[in-house]
Structure formats: structure tokens, C-alpha cells
Structure 1
């Protein structure tokens, strides 16, 4: 095995393990946030409105509800509902050991000599670690047991076997978790907690961002954030009402600074698309959107690390912290789950980290002597390859299933699902983008999003997923139609999907197809001669999109000036393709490639095709005929 393959294998194992851990936490983030809200509002004495009665049952949520949910989810991920139930049963043994006042460890009964602080009756241990171990472990054992014995059950006795095997396995594992696993977890959890406290008191925590920020760009953010920092953060928040650990991975400041620097000092398509990316990143919480900008200039990792270290340092010294996980990592989510005493520290930390990353990124951009500032599309492709390499896969071809993606294969599609690791964030935004395209195209198809692990094989399903997850998606849904993309937020494949869906829904006999092609030829001939219904034209449009936003802005400005000099008053605008209405009042000036996309969506608008948007000489005849 080569060194490169060895590194890819290590990345694959780390990311797979992190995905497994985050797969237990992510579905239950809502429950964690609910507990965080109640802690922030009612916790005594630091809440907004301290209430000992409400505060009394937040401990039940912390010590019982959340671990049971995590254990159930972990078991279900391994062996569906049967695994989920036995996982929820098995974790109760560790929960009892960690519960304050009542636990044998707190009373000094179980292993009191292993750790003297275990006798502290006022301190409990939320058993998230126990849930993340016992849930999957017990479900896996039940799965193996069923594989060996379920097929040997006589007809008519299936229900007896299913119920009693599940109950007996649950009984066995709840005993194992109480007498064997639980005591060890109590001791190790206490040591881990003290280790974290030691790091925080010595202000060494910011150094962790030297690893966290590069790891995010390598798509290990779920492994670090939800797999490690969130469980530790909950344990710390249970003691002091807040935790800075929740902010270390979710802090949007470093990415904000990089995108701001790019929007001011960057070049080419990266500069033109950065302002839009800022909104999605900072307010939407989708950090993935700034990764291509870093990959385009790897030196920007220094800006991300400097911003991350600064943010964590400021959070620590100014008393910042959250009561629960901020998911997604949006400034809105951070403010909603900030502790009462931590707003100042959190805001200063976020914007302080943004300022530092902006300064470092600005210096990097100013030192850049290239003319175009790099290729954002190539960086997005590199991002896909790195994500694929992290899972030990080769990057997919531009069309990963060319044999499957013919127009005919789309005729049976009844539902579209976007699938990603967690089923949130970028897949939700990708589904939103395609949902809008589906609506504009007049297609009546539901578009939803989910996690890859939750996919179920069903007829008429079109699954859209990231390239590095394509194999897993195909394993879960072998009979579905699959499309793999590099980036949910920016890909030409959405237009291809819409074109094929529309073509499949309007399948015509061969004679009609030839007639339609001839109409297109005639239409193009008229376009070249600018033979349009100028009386109907109320607006001239240029199509604006992220890859060529600067070019389109300049072209529309030049055309507007030419119209003004000619004394014409028809308004000229740069708009997105989905902002048009399908009627002849729009005269769109577009390149041949853009004209093809327009033809897929609209059949009533008028399109003037030109080879170069910036050469107004080609459009003089058009200007003369406009009002």
C-alpha cells in the first residue's frame, strides 16, 4: 500500500467513525436544544427566570431522556427498531450509575477506591458516553443472534421469538451495563471531565482549533463536533450552566472573515460569489460553503486557524459559552442558546475571530499576484475529490451513472430525495434549490432531504447525494435512480435533472421530436436576425449566476449605457434564471450555453443569443429595434 493510500485509509476510518458517532447525536439535537433552553431560562440561580420546580425536571431530561434517545438512535442505526429498543433498555444500567444522589457509585458502594471523587453525592454524570457505547453494542449482538437463530423458528412462533429474544437480550445487557461497563465509564468520564477542566483553567483550549479548523475543511467536522465536543459540552453545561466546547467547531467567525476578505480583495468568480456565501454561512450556518474558497488558496487555512484560536481564547477569558449545541453553526442559533451571562463573550468571540481571520486572509489575498485569483469551480471539484479520498473512494466521474441517467430512465420518477451524512445543512439547501427548479419547470414532484442511513428502497425514487456518499446510497436504495454531485449548493447537474425529468414527462413520438427540433432551428435563425416581437418587450434581462456574476454585471451595465445613448427607455436588469416569468415581455440576452438552460425552463420568453456578452457591437441592431 502506498503512503497516499495509507493516508486515505486513515481518513476514511476517522470519518466513518465520526459519522457513526454523529449519527447518534444529530437526530437528537432538538432534544438537547430543548434541555438547553430550559436550563438557560429556569436554572437556579443563573437562569433568566430561576424556578426550582421547572429546574427539577430538567435533570430528568439530562440524565434519562437524552441518553435513552441517543442509545435508541444508536441501536436503530445498527439494527432498526429492534436494535433501538434493546439499546434503550441496555443504557439504563449506566444511567443509574451516573445519576446523582441515587447511584451506588455516588454512595461509595461500587468501586469507591478507584476514584475518591466518586463519593460526591451532589455531582451526577450524564451517561452520553454510555449511551453511545451500549446502544450500538447491544443492537449489534441482537442482530448477530437473530442471524443465527431467527431462520430456525417454526411457523407461528415468530412473535414469541421476536418479543422474548429482544426482552432477554435487553435484560442481559442492562445487567452488563450496570455491573461491568457502567463503573468503568463513570471513572473514565470523571477523569476526562477533570482533564478538560485542567486544559480550560490553563487557557490551552484555543490550541485545539489548530486541529479543528483544518479538520473541518477535510469534512471531519461532524466527527469532532457532534462526536466529541457536544457530549463533553453537555456534561460541562450540566455542572456550570454553559460550555465553551459547544462553540469551538460551530463558531462561524473564521469562515466569515475569510469570505469577507475574498469579497473585498479576491478576484474572479470567487470574489463575485463570496457575498452570497456570507449569508448562507453566517446566518444559515452551512459552513461547508466556504471550504472551496480555502481549498482554492490553501494558505487561507492559516486565516481559519488564527480566527479559531482567537475565538476560543475570547470565549474562555470573557465567560462565553452555550447552554446547548448550536446546530447549525449560525449566529442566530448561537444567540438563541447563549447562557444569560455569556452574550457579551459570545458576540465578541465570534466577531473577534472574524476580524483576525479577515486580517490574515486579506494579507494572503494582497500577496497574491495571479490575475484571476484561482478557479473556484476547480476548487469545488478538488473539495469533492478530498471528500471522496477521506472515505477511501476514487472521485466519481462527472456523470457517475451515465448508463442510468438517460431521459427514459426518468419517466418513472415519483419522488426526489437529497441524502447527506447528517440529513441537515447542505442537503436541506440543495433540496430547496431543486424544489424551486422543479416548481418553475411545472413538474409535480416532492423534493425532500434525509440522512443516507435513513434511505429506504422504494419504486420511483431519485436519490441525489454527494459523490463520496454515492456507494452507500446505492447500497441502501439499489432500485432507485442515483445522481452524484460534488457540491449540493453549486452544480450544473440540477439543470440536467430538470431537463431529463421534463423531457421524460413530455415524451413524444419520433415525428414530433423532429418537428420540435426543426422549430428550435427556426427559432435560432430568427434570434440571429433579431426577429422578435419588440412590441411585447417590457424588460431586457441578462442572466446572473455565481460563476460569471462579474461578467454579467458588466455586460448589463454596458448595454444599459448603450441604450441610454440611443435614447431607449426599456429597463435593463441582471437577474437570476429563476426570477423570470414565462412570457414574451422578457427579452433575454444570453450565451448559447445559457440559452439551452432557458429553453428547458421557459417556452414563451424571447432569447437573443450572442457569443460574447461584453461585445455591444453584436447588439446594435437589437438596440435600434427596442423602445
Structure 2
């Protein structure tokens, strides 16, 4: 039974991550809509009837289509994105309310359908018909899903949305909305903050904002007051490294809007959950009492972003709610800290944080941190040419962690790309080092099994960054020596080392047309000789750098392709339909296998 509960929790977390991953990349569009609304509607700062006419089309068409497009791309890249957007159009037109929930359903469904089609039929398409089949399959699958969305999904989601709206309105009218923070605040600290805010509250809040011009739901998770109160208490009454680091964390959390920074402070003393719950409930009660609300979702949850999206008649109410939440959270946290008479060293604090981290992982079905394999010493850093920080949303503390490591590398003279990404957008690349949190390691490794991994407890403060930089610095000389042997980039097949090739990629500008036909020709040749080698076609800008890949491209495109995949081997051709070159590749592969 316990194992079943763990599985359910993991699935809930994964569902929440999927919902937020569809909304988070498009938060800029929500903010743009909120700013246009705040400025140009009749009761805005700068009323303008012409510019205000953009608000309805944006909320009705643009935002749901962006969500559906993103949801489809999560499942099956560009083809999935296009079909997801087409399917979303069906539920948009088939309903009378903005279709955020419908888009979250139809986008991934469209991506899944076209992915299954490709898996079943991609190797059965005759040479020369790839573009025709791909385009028509996308169009026809999207066409069918749009009709289903119009007649079936749209009306169902409309009814569901109306019920949810009535439920929220009933809770608000009954004065029970503050009780939601009993769930929201602990869930935030268990890294479900993005799922709650952008997967649930943002779509419902947008519905309210259309009717009332603002919504209190945008403030429930984004309120920085509870976290600020805890950090102020640690600044004044904390001990050791927690006290020393809290003032810097205040700036990051309150002004920068990165709420994840205060999570470890709460987790090291579980009674602090009472402080953030009390702060959240009191803040929401104040918001409700004074009729506060925002025009659109504030992301990140910075006080600057919140005030920027506050209607003129809500400034006092919003500021009051943040202040009340801060004071209540601070007072509760102060009592907890002053009642704690134990002398805790930095080492003891670290041990307690590790124990809390292990407990949190077990609650999510991830196993203990001790079982994790993402140690710096286990990673093969000599072959790494880029570093990616991966978390649920690809923002927040992972972005700041990337900034910390990037600065350390620059100081050490290491020229390497350091970026941040959501787990859902990770690419499987053997030359990438992925840094993620312990509890997210299992999900990340499923997305990129060939990559190197290092796991950390806290993106903002990990001694492993120093270890990574030191090892990379020490191995640079040897790596440069190994790389001094030039990668074979000739069009002479005789010089290729085909024994280690596992993928053959035809690369051109669009990744379609004649390159798809060439890929089909070579794929059929390999099948006839029982050689099991993956053959695909792709746009140059989507090439992955992989030493086990042979890239076939046209001579005039070689320089661009080589920049994207310097570790790969290359064959250049004048014409993708040059079957003599492909026959030579097959013959050489047979000899070297």
C-alpha cells in the first residue's frame, strides 16, 4: 500500500509539472495581455479603444493556441506542436470561454497522436514521398482532432470551467479562500509551486480577470510575504550559516521573485511550515477583505512584478496583504526560533537538511539521496562541452545556479556554455553535463540517459560547483590534446570510422525535401543488408553534437553543420540523391561491423 501511495504522489507531481510546463514558457504572453488590459481598457491607466480591442482576441485565441502549441511540442517536437495547435483551435471555437484547460488537453493529445503515427508508419514511407506524407498526416490528424474538440471536448470543458468558476466564487463568497493556503504553502515548498500557480490558479484567474478586470487567485501563490517573514526571522534570530545567508536571500526572494530560495530554511525546521501557512492565510484573508487582485499572473513572484500588474484601485489592498503576511509569518517564525535553545553547528544544519531532503524524496517515491549516483567524481567531464541546469520549470533557482557556475567557470578561464532548462525540454546528448536536484534525478535521466549527471540539494549553494570547475580545469589540457586530432570532416568515405556510428543524420536548412528522400534511400539500403543503424533527417539548427553520429549534408552547408556538431563525422554531397556515396557508406559499414 505504501508503494502504491508513493506511485500516486509521483504521478501527481508529474501531472502538475506537465501542466505548468505548458503555461510557464508562455507567461510573457500572459503578462503582455495583462499590461495591455491594465493600460488601455476603459478604466485603465491610458484608456484607448483601438488598442484595447487586442485584449479579447489575445485571451480567446493567442494564449490558448500558445499553450496547445507548447503542449504538442513537449510530446513530439515541431510536428506535435503544429497538430496540438490545430486541435486546440477546435475547442476554442467550440466554446464560449477561454480554453486554457481545453488547450492543456488538446495540445498534448495532438502531439501524442502524430507521434504514434510516425512510430507506426515512418519506416513504411516510400522514398520521395516523405514530405507529402508528413504534411498530410499532420493536417488530417489535426483536422480530425479539431472536429472532436469542437463537438465533444469544447462543450465538456466549458461546462467543467463553469463548475470550477462557480466553486471558486462560492469559496470566495463564503470567506473560505484563506483555507487554500493550508495546502498551497506546503505544496510550494515541496516544489509544486509552479504546478499550482501556473497549472491551476493562472487559468482560473484569467477567467475571473476577463469578467472583473482582476483576480485574487493570481495572488495566492505569488504572495512573497510568507517567505519574506521567515527570512527576516532567520536574519534576526537565526544561527550559523542560516543567519548569515538570510539577508542575501531576502533580496533574491522579495525583489528577484525566486521563492525557491527560502524553501531550505523552512525544511531545516519543519515547524516553520506553520509560519508560512499562517502568513499565507492571513495575507489571503487581507486580500479578500480589501478586494485585492491582479490583472494577470505575476511571474516571477517579485514585488515589482506584482505591483506592475496591480489595478489602480487595488494598490493599497495588495500592499496590505503582503505586509500582513510578512508580519504574521515573521512573528510565528520568531517564536519558533526563540523557543529553539539547541546549539546547531553548520555541519549539523547540513546533516539535518540532508535528512529532510531524503525524507522528501521518499515521500515522492524517488528513493533516498544516498542511493543517488550523480557524484562529480562519477561524471566524465573530459567529454562535456556544455552544462545544463534542469528543474521542473527551467527558471527560478536553476537559472541562478547556472549563473553561479557560469561565473566560476569564467573566473577559471573555462569557455563553456552553461544554461538552464525544464526537464521536459532536455535533449539526450552524451556531451552534456546535467545538474539537477536529487529528487528530480530519476525524471531527468529518463529524458537524457546518455548525458552526464551531477545532483545537488540546493541550486544556490552547492560545493559541487567548485569540484566541477576544478576537475574541468585540470582536465582541459588533456582534453585539448585529445581533441587536437581533427574530426574527420571530409567527403571521402574511405577516411570515415564507421564502426562507431550509431546514427546517420541528413541535415539541411529545413530538414525536409531532398534530405528526407536521401535519408529514405540510405535507410532502405541499410535494411536490405541487415545493418541496424538509425537514419533520420533534421534541420541544421537542431543538430545534436554526438561523436557517434555521421552527418550527411551538402557542401555549402558543411560549415554551419560542423559548428552545431563538431564531434560528429561528416560526409558532404552535391546532391542528397547521390546514391553512389550511400552505396559506399553501406559497403564500408558492412566491412567494419
- State the distance in 2 between where 1:161 and 1:469 align: 38
The answer to whether the aligner puts 1:233 opposite 2:192 as a matched pair is no
Aligned to 2:91: 94
Measure, in 2, the Cα distance between the counterparts of 1:379 and 1:250.
28
In structure 2, distance between residues paired with 1:181 and 1:328: 32
Take 2:5 and 2:365, find their aligned partners in 1: how far apart are those partners?
Answer: 9
1:84 pairs with 2:84: no
2:310 is matched with which residue? Answer: 338
**Which has the higher mean CA deviation after the structures are superposed, 263-272 or 18-27?**
263-272
Find the aligned partners of 1:404 and 1:43 in 2 and give their Cα distance. 58
Q: Which has the larger radius of gyration?
A: 1
> Relative to 1, partners in 2 of residues 1:135 and 1:317: Cα closer, same or farther, differing over 3 Å?
same
- Structure-to-structure mapping, 1:546-561, within 5 angstroms: none
Q: What is the TM-score with the length of structure 1 in the denominator?
A: 0.73
1:39 offset after TM fit, Å?
Answer: 0.7
Match of 2:429 in 1: 458
- Paired with 1:211 and 1:323, the residues of 2 have a C-alpha distance of 24
Offset of 1:307 from its aligned partner? 0.4
Give runs of aligned pairs for residues 256-405 of structure 1, distance below 5 A. Answer: 256-372=228-344, 375-397=348-370, 400-402=373-375, 405=378
Aligned mates of 2:422, 2:376 — CA distance in 1: 25
Deviations 1:11-31 (A, max 9, x none): 212111100100100010010
Does structure 1 retain, via aligned residues, the 8 Å contact 2:376–2:468?
A: no
Match in the other structure for 1:531: none
Q: In 2, distance between residues paired with 1:12 and 1:383?
A: 18
1:506 aligns with 477
Runs (5+) with no aligned partner, structure 2: 481-593
> Does the aligned pair in 1 maintain the 2:376–2:464 contact within 8 Å?
no
Deviation at 1:35, TM superposition (A): 0.4
Tell me by how many angstroms 1:387 deviates.
4.7
Cα distance change, pair 403–69 in 1 and its aligned pair in 2 (3 A): closer
SS for the counterpart of 1:150 is: helix
TM-score by length of 2: 0.78
Name structure 1 gaps, 5 residues minimum: 100-124, 510-627
1:460 CA displacement = 3.0
- Counterpart Cα distance in 2 of 1:34 and 1:413: 38
> How far apart in 2 are the matches of 1:463 and 1:418?
6
Cα separation, partners in 2 of 1:30 and 1:382, compared to 1, 3 Å: farther
Distance apart, 1:390 and its partner CA: 4.7
**RMSD in angstroms over aligned alpha carbons?**
2.0
- Offset of residue 295 of structure 1: 1.6
Separation in 2, partners of 1:166, 1:441: 49
Counterparts of 1:391 and 1:89 in 2: how far apart (Å)? Answer: 35
Relative to structure 1, is the Cα distance of residues 62 and 383 closer, same or farther in structure 2, using a 3 angstrom cutoff? farther
Matches within 5 A, 1:498-577: 498-507=469-478
Q: Which residue of structure 1 aligns with residue 513 of structure 2?
A: none
Report the equivalent of 2:129: 157
Local SS of the residue matching 1:326? coil
User: Partner residue of 2:412?
Assistant: 441
Call closer, same or farther: CA 1:274–1:431 in 2, change over 3 Å.
same
1:485 is the counterpart of 2:456: yes
- Does structure 2 conserve the Cα–Cα contact (< 8 Å) formed by 1:19 and 1:223? yes
Q: Does 1:43 align with 2:41?
A: yes
1:337 to partner: Cα distance: 1.4
Residues 1:137 and 2:109 aligned together: yes
* Distance (Å, rounded) in 2 between the aligned partners of 1:161 and 1:416: 37
Displacement, 1:484? 1.3
Q: Is the 8 A contact 1:292 1:376 kept in 2?
A: no
Task: Please state whether the residue corresponding to 2:334 is helix, strand or coil.
Answer: helix
